[in-house]
Structure 1
Amino acid sequence: MKRFVLLVLLVALGGGGYYAYRQQHSAGQEARASAVAQPRAVPVEVANVELMTVAEEVEALGTLAADEMVVIAPEIAGRVIELGFKEGESVKKGQELVKLDTAILSAELKQAQADLGLARDTHERLRSLVSRGSGTQVSLDEAIAKLASSEARVELAKAKLAQSTIVAPFNGVVGLRSVGVGDFVAVGKPLITLTNIDPIKIDFRVPEIFLSRLKVGQPVSMRVDAVPDRTFTGQTYAIDPVVDINGRAIRLRAAIPNADLTLKPGLFARLAITVDQRLNAIVIPEMAVVPDGMGKMVYVVDGGKAKRIPVELGKRLPGKVEVLSGLTPKMQIITAGQMRLRDGSAIAIKDKPLRTSQL
Structure 2
Amino acid sequence: MKRFVLLVVVAGLAGGGYYAYRNQRAGTQQAQASAVSGPRAVPVEVASVETMTVNEEVEALGTLAADESVIIASEIAGRVVALGFKEGERVKAGQDLVKLDTAILDAELKQALADLGLARDTNERLRALVQRGSGTQVALDESTARLASSEARVQLAKAKLAQSTIVAPFSGVVGLRSVGIGDYVSVGKPLIVLTSIDPIKVDFRVPEIYLSRVKVGQPVQVRVDAVPDRTFTGQIFAIDPVVDVNGRAIRLRANVPNGDLALKPGLFARLSITVDQRENAMVIPEMAVVPDGVGKMIYVAENGKARRVAVELGKRLPGKVEVVGGLKPGMQIITAGQMRLRDGSTISVKEKPVQTSQL
TM-score where L is the length of structure 2? 0.84
Q: Which moved more, 1:139-148 or 1:167-176?
A: 139-148
The alpha carbon displacement at 1:40 in A equals 4.8
Q: Residues 304-343 of structure 1 correspond to what in structure 2 (within 5 A)?
A: 304-343=304-343
* Equivalent residues of 2:50, 2:330 under 8 A apart: no
Cα distance change, pair 121–351 in 1 and its aligned pair in 2 (3 A): farther
Q: Is the 8 A contact 2:177 2:192 kept in 1?
A: yes
Secondary structure of the 1:191 match is strand
**What does the per-residue CA deviation read over 1:123-181, in whole Å, with 9 as the maximum and x for residues that have no partner?**
22222222232322222212221221111111111111110111111111110011111
Q: Whole-Å Cα distance in 2 between the matches of residues 289 and 67 of structure 1?
A: 48
Q: Which amino acid aligns with 2:262?
A: T
- Using the alignment, how far apart are the partners of 1:348 and 1:266 within structure 2? 60
The residue number in structure 2 matching 1:113 is: 113
CA contact (8 A) 1:45 1:353 kept: no
Answering whether residue 160 of structure 2 is matched by residue 134 of structure 1, we say no
How far did 1:110 drift? Answer: 1.4
Q: Which amino acid counterpart does residue 335 of structure 2 have in structure 1?
A: T
Following the alignment from structure 2 to structure 1, what is the Cα–Cα distance between the partners of residues 317 and 223? 19
- Matched position secondary structure for 1:123: helix
Match of 2:285 in 1: 285
Q: Which runs of 5+ in 2 are unaligned?
A: 1-28, 355-359
Give, as a single letter, the amino acid of the residue that structure 2 aligns with 1:52. Answer: M
- CA–CA distance in 2 between the matches of 1:264 and 1:314? 37
Aligned pairs (5 A) from 1:94-173: 94-173=94-173
User: For 2:91 and 2:331, how far apart are their aligned partners in 1?
Assistant: 60
- What is the identity, as a one-letter code, of the residue corresponding to 1:103? A
Q: Equivalents in 2 of 1:218, 1:135: separation in Å?
A: 76
3-state SS of the aligned residue for 1:216?
coil
- 1:291-311 superposed Cα distances (whole Å, 9 cap, x missing partner): 222211122232343332110
Contact 2:106/2:161, CA 8 A, preserved across alignment = yes
Amino acid in the other structure paired with 2:124: E
Give 1:144's aligned amino acid.
Answer: T
Rounded to whole Å, the distance in 2 between the matches of 1:160 and 1:178 is 22
Q: CA RMSD, aligned part only?
A: 2.3
In structure 1, stretches of 5+ residues that fail to align are 1-28, 355-359
SS in 2 for 1:209: helix
Give me the whole-angstrom Cα distance separating, in 2, the residues matched to 1:215 and 1:330.
35
Q: TM-score normalised to the size of structure 1?
A: 0.84
Counterpart position of 1:11 = none
In 1: Cα distance, 2:345 partner to 2:306 partner: 5
Residue of structure 1 in register with 2:274 after alignment: 274
Q: 1 CA distance for matches of 2:235 and 2:211?
A: 17
* Number of residues of Structure 1 aligned to a counterpart in Structure 2: 326
Q: CA deviation at 1:71?
A: 0.7
Per the TM alignment, residue 38 of structure 1 is displaced from its structure 2 partner at its CA by: 4.9
